Amino acid sequence: MLNKKAVVLLSGGLDSAVTLYFARSKGFDCHCLAFDYGQRHHRELQAAQKISRLTDSPLKIIKIVLPWGGSALLDDKIKLPSSKHPSSRVIPSTYVPGRNIIFLSFALSFAEAIGARGIFIGAHAQDYSGYPDCRPEFYRAFKKVISTGTKAGVQHKGIEITTPLINKTKAEIIRLGNKLGVPFELTWSCYQGGKKPCGRCDSCYFRNKGFREAGIAQK
Amino acid sequence: MLNKKAVVLLSGGLDSAVTLYFARSKGFDCHCLAFDYGQRHHRELQAAQKISRLTDSPLKIIKIVLPWGGSALLDDKIKLPSSKHPSSRVIPSTYVPGRNIIFLSFALSFAEAIGARGIFIGAHAQDYSGYPDCRPEFYRAFKKVISTGTKAGVQHKGIEITTPLINKTKAEIIRLGNKLGVPFELTWSCYQGGKKPCGRCDSCYFRNKGFREAGIAQK
């Protein structure tokens, strides 16, 4: 691949950080994109900024307003899922309607504008039976949108979407991140915005379980 | 169809106004969506507001920033296409990377959040050999994104995208709008933001030609 620019969706969570390090390990010049979309807190975005600086991968933060709510991540009145019965079969209340589709659309626009040939996103298997927009079939469908609906696609240059974590468990992602030297301590997973992770939400549950299973100590 | 809510992408241009009137004629309770994305002027958005008020179809204007430019519509330094050699074979400088994909993603999020089953967008044939994201195959691909990547899709409720103008010429669109009682005088097509349409840009050229061919006088 001659053109080595890529757009990386960097939320500041563990998965996106591993994805950025993965893209860098493949020789890509990474341009990161994060979204300020009315999340309950900004801990993740602060994490994204730190990781962007550390890796010298410029970060753009896009502010978007979804004035229709519909998710526990955006609306204090909707209850966050607790880790008591984490289930991968039910779409959780933290699902934001169309979120990854919106994120990918911006990434695509950015990629076209800077002439990048790749988009990296850290969606993965452990999420995908819960979040519809984390499933492999969704990414296959989105590829078709790119090939039919963009200048790059029509001119047969294309923009490839890479989901390096899609079939990995959290433990496998953590092992990969460990190998790539990801500074896990800079990433933020907790749905709450406290000083320390709450340890109780779904996201904390899967993170902690992943580290235990990977046999890697959290700093 | 029991659920008659629909999201209509209403830019304020002629095509989107005809699309809104078409959706209303099919009995839909229309919720409009427009975008303030750094266009050179706001004449279209003002037109959208007028049409929304007139039809009692609530309008949400979403402000988005695409901090990478890449289009004559966003960047004063890129020349607007003139009507001297309007061509439908070349992607024009007014193409905004990923624009319709971004717009549709927001429409989809909105539709999911309010439980609408339809999205109406006024993309059409005369544009589609120029703008890749106005081609029927793009809309077919986007439908697959909805069925695989959203809660509504996964739960088999679906959200249908309707492109009522897709195969029509401008003259046919104007005839349809005339039949539906569209207040053409409130719509705005010109790429420039003057007091009156410039009469020289691509958009003015196609509008004027359309009215001539439809045999309908412009007010």
The owner of tokens 């699902």 is A95
* Inter-chain CB proximity B106 and A100 less than 8 Å: no
In A, which residues are within 8 Å of B95 by CB distance? 151
In A, which residues are within 8 Å of B73 by CB distance? none
pLDDT reported for residue A176: 98
Does residue A74 carry a pLDDT above 80? no
**A85 — pLDDT class (breaks 50, 70, 90):** very low
pLDDT reported for residue A212: 96
> Which residues in B have their CB inside 8 Å of a CB on A?
60, 62-70, 91, 95-102, 104-106, 108-110, 112-114, 132-133, 135, 137-138, 140-142, 144-145, 147-151, 153-154
Averaged pLDDT score across all residues of chain A:
86
Query: What spatial distance separates the first Cα and last Cα of chain B, rounded to whole Å?
Result: 37
* Inter-chain CB proximity A98 and B114 less than 8 Å: no
Domains of chain B: 5-214 (3.40.50.620)
* Inter-chain CB proximity A149 and B140 less than 8 Å: no
Tokens of A111: 């990629």
pLDDT reported for residue B85: 46
| Burial category of B156 from C-beta neighbours within 10 Å (exposed 0-12, middle 13-18, buried 19 and up) | exposed
**A2 — pLDDT class (breaks 50, 70, 90):** very low
Residue (of A63, A114, A100, A97) closest to B64 by Cα position:
A63
pTM of the model: 0.88
pLDDT reported for residue A148: 87
Among B60, B109, B148, whose Cβ lies nearest the Cβ of A98? B109
pLDDT reported for residue A37: 84
Which residue of chain A has the CA closest to B31?
A68
Among B68, B109, B132, whose Cβ lies nearest the Cβ of A150? B132
In A, which residues are within 8 Å of B140 by CB distance? 148
Q: Residue ranges of chain B with pLDDT lower than 70? A: 1-3, 40, 70-76, 78-92, 125-130, 156
Q: Count contacts between A and B (CB, < 8 Å).
A: 146
Residue predicted with more confidence, B72 or A115: A115
In A, which residues are within 8 Å of B66 by CB distance? 106, 109-110, 113
* Inter-chain CB proximity B149 and A140 less than 8 Å: no
- Give whichever of A80-94, A143-157, A184-198, B116-130 has the largest mean pLDDT: A184-198
Residue predicted with more confidence, A69 or B84: A69
Residue-wise pLDDT for A180-212, tens only, equals: 999 999 999 888 888 899 998 888 988 999 999
* Inter-chain CB proximity A141 and B144 less than 8 Å: yes
pLDDT reported for residue A209: 92
**Backbone torsions φ then ψ of B19, nearest 5 degrees:** -60, -45
In B, which residues are within 8 Å of A35 by CB distance? none
* Inter-chain CB proximity B96 and A110 less than 8 Å: no
**A32 — pLDDT class (breaks 50, 70, 90):** very high
DSSP string, A96-144: -TTHHHHHHHHHHHHHHHHT--EEE----HHHHTT-GGGSHHHHHHHHH
Residues 6+ apart with CB under 8 A from A77: none
Helices A202-214/A170-180 angle, 10° precision: 60
The predicted complex's ipTM stands at: 0.86
Residue A28 is classified by DSSP as -
Which residue of chain A has the CA closest to B99?
A109
In B, which residues are within 8 Å of A108 by CB distance? 97-98, 101
How near does any CA of chain B get to the CA of A212, in Å?
31
Among B62, B66, B96, whose Cβ lies nearest the Cβ of A65? B62
pLDDT reported for residue B12: 94
d(CA B55, CA B59): 10
Among B112, B145, B153, whose Cβ lies nearest the Cβ of A145? B145
Q: Are A103 and A35 in contact (CB under 8 A)?
A: yes
Per 3-state DSSP, chain B is made up of helix, strand and coil in percentages (nearest 5) of 40, 10, 45
* Inter-chain CB proximity B70 and A96 less than 8 Å: no
pLDDT reported for residue B75: 63
pLDDT reported for residue B80: 62
